[in-house]
Amino acid sequence: MYTGPENSYLKQPRGLKSWLLTLDHKRIGVMYLTAIMFFFLVGGLLAVLMRVELSSPARDVVSAELYNRLFTLHGAIMIFMFIIPSIPAAIGNFVLPLMIGAKDVAFPRLNLASWYIYVVGSLIAVASILQGGVDTGWTFYTPYSTSTNSAVITLTFGAFVLGFSSIFTGLNFIVTIHKMRAPGMTWFKMPLMVWGLYATAIIQVLATPVLGITLVLLIFERLFGIGIFDPAMGGDPVLYQHFFWFYSHPAVYIMILPGMAIISELIATFSHKRIFGYKAIAFSSLGIALVSFLVWGHHMFTSGQSELAAMIFSFLTFLVGIPSGIKIFNWVATMYRGSISLKTPMLYAIAFLLLFTIGGLTGIFLGTLAVDVHLHDTYFIVAHFHYVMMGGTVMALLGGIHYWWPKMWGKMYNETWGRITAVLVFVGFNVAFFTQFIMGSQGMPRRYYSYPDQFAFLHEVSSVGAYILGFGFLIMVIYLIHSLYRGKPAARNPWGALTMEWEAASPPTTHNFDKDMKLEHGPYDFDRVEVEDEEMVKA
Q: Which is nearer to other proteins, 14 or 528 (CB)?
A: 528
Q: Which is nearer to other proteins, 32 or 276 (CB)?
A: 276
453 binds other proteins, rule: CB under 8 A: no
| Count of residues near other proteins by CB under 8 A | 92
Would you call 290 exposed, middle or buried from its count of C-beta atoms within 10 A (0-12, 13-18, 19+)?
A: middle
Amino acid at the residue 527:
D
Residue 273 sits at the vertex; the CA angle it makes with 267 and 278, to the nearest 5 degrees, is: 75
Q: Which is nearer to other proteins, 188 or 220 (CB)?
A: 188
Least Cα distance to 284 among 314, 218, 329 occurs for 329
The span from the CA of 300 to the CA of 309, in Å, is 10
Give the SS3 label for residue 509: strand
The span from the CA of 325 to the CA of 330, in Å, is 9
Give the SS3 label for residue 434: helix
Give the SS3 label for residue 217: helix
335 binds other proteins, rule: CB under 8 A: yes
342 binds other proteins, rule: CB under 8 A: yes
Identify the bridge partners of residue 27 per DSSP, sorted by sequence position.
none
Q: Which of 266, 328, 432, 469 binds other proteins (CB under 8 A)?
A: 328
405 φ/ψ sector (left φ>0, alpha ψ -120 to 50, else beta):
alpha
200, 257 contact by CB (below 8 A): yes
How many CB atoms sit inside 10 A of residue 532's CB?
10
299 binds other proteins, rule: CB under 8 A: no
Footprint of other proteins on residues 73-132 (CB under 8 A)?
none
65 binds other proteins, rule: CB under 8 A: yes
Q: Which of 131, 186, 302, 416 binds other proteins (CB under 8 A)?
A: 302
Tell me which stretch binds other proteins (CB under 8 A): 11-19, 61-69, 178-186, 395-403: 61-69
Q: Which is nearer to other proteins, 5 or 237 (CB)?
A: 237
Q: Which is nearer to other proteins, 66 or 120 (CB)?
A: 66
Footprint of other proteins on residues 131-190 (CB under 8 A)?
135-137, 141, 143-144, 147-148
How long a stretch of residues is the chain? Answer: 539
Q: Which of 61, 182, 354, 427 binds other proteins (CB under 8 A)?
A: 354
Q: Which is nearer to other proteins, 41 or 290 (CB)?
A: 290
Q: How far is CA 373 from CA 171, 299, 346, 380, 451, in A?
A: 38, 11, 38, 12, 21
Q: Which of 126, 358, 396, 466 binds other proteins (CB under 8 A)?
A: 358
Q: Which of 8, 165, 200, 314 binds other proteins (CB under 8 A)?
A: 314
Q: Which is nearer to other proteins, 108 or 143 (CB)?
A: 143
As measured in angstroms, the least distance from the Cβ of 157 to other proteins is: 21
Footprint of other proteins on residues 232-261 (CB under 8 A)?
232, 235-238
Q: Which is nearer to other proteins, 190 or 275 (CB)?
A: 275
209 φ/ψ sector (left φ>0, alpha ψ -120 to 50, else beta):
alpha
DSSP notation for 148-192: --SSHHHHHHHHHHHHHHHHHHHHHHHHHHHH-PPTT--GGGS-H
Q: Which is nearer to other proteins, 13 or 452 (CB)?
A: 452
Q: Which of 242, 325, 464, 471 binds other proteins (CB under 8 A)?
A: 325
Q: Which of 332, 423, 474, 478 binds other proteins (CB under 8 A)?
A: 332
Q: Which is nearer to other proteins, 31 or 335 (CB)?
A: 335
Tell me which stretch binds other proteins (CB under 8 A): 26-34, 422-430, 434-442, 502-510: 434-442
294 binds other proteins, rule: CB under 8 A: no
Q: Which of 14, 337, 515, 538 binds other proteins (CB under 8 A)?
A: 337
87, 400 contact by CB (below 8 A): yes
283 binds other proteins, rule: CB under 8 A: no
Least Cα distance to 274 among 20, 48, 497 occurs for 497
